[in-house]
Amino acid sequence: MPGVGLIFFLIVTYGLSALRTSQERQQELVHFIVHDLRSPLTSVLFGPQTLQRVGHEAINDEQKTLGETALGSGERMLTLINAILDSFRLEQWQMPLQLSEVTV
């Protein structure tokens, strides 16, 4: 039954290859999220943050509301992106855990 060993070898080899491909795609996704989403979003948020710090006397109430809305929405997007990246880090055991007792 030498054919059984060969079949088993091929199945294991195919499984390992599929796993490696999956891990490579996951790394590509993380790279995309960091470089193509988070970095530009951080730059976009710089404008409303600057307007918020500089001076409210130069802008009217409608402009202030629009700036606050843009800043809030951008910060929510950034929080979501960071949560996705944290979940990837947790899956890869690259994030230190701090265990503590809590009362339920």
| Domain range annotation of the chain | 2-91
If pLDDT is split at 50, 70 and 90, which confidence band does 2 have? low
Report DSSP state, residue 59: S
| In the predicted structure, residue 58 carries a pLDDT above the cut 80 | no
| Alpha carbon distance 50, 59 (integer Å) | 13
Q: How many CA atoms lie within 13 A of 48 on its CB side?
A: 17
pLDDT score, position 43: 84
Please tell me the pTM assigned to this model.
Answer: 0.60
| In the predicted structure, residue 56 carries a pLDDT above the cut 80 | no
pLDDT score, position 81: 85
SS3 80: helix
Tokens in use for 6? 């060969």
For 2-91, CATH number out of 1.10.10, 1.20.1150, 3.30.160, 1.10.287 equals 1.10.287
- The CA dihedral of 79, 84, 89, 93, to the nearest 10 degrees, is 120
pLDDT score, position 52: 77
| In the predicted structure, residue 94 carries a pLDDT above the cut 70 | yes
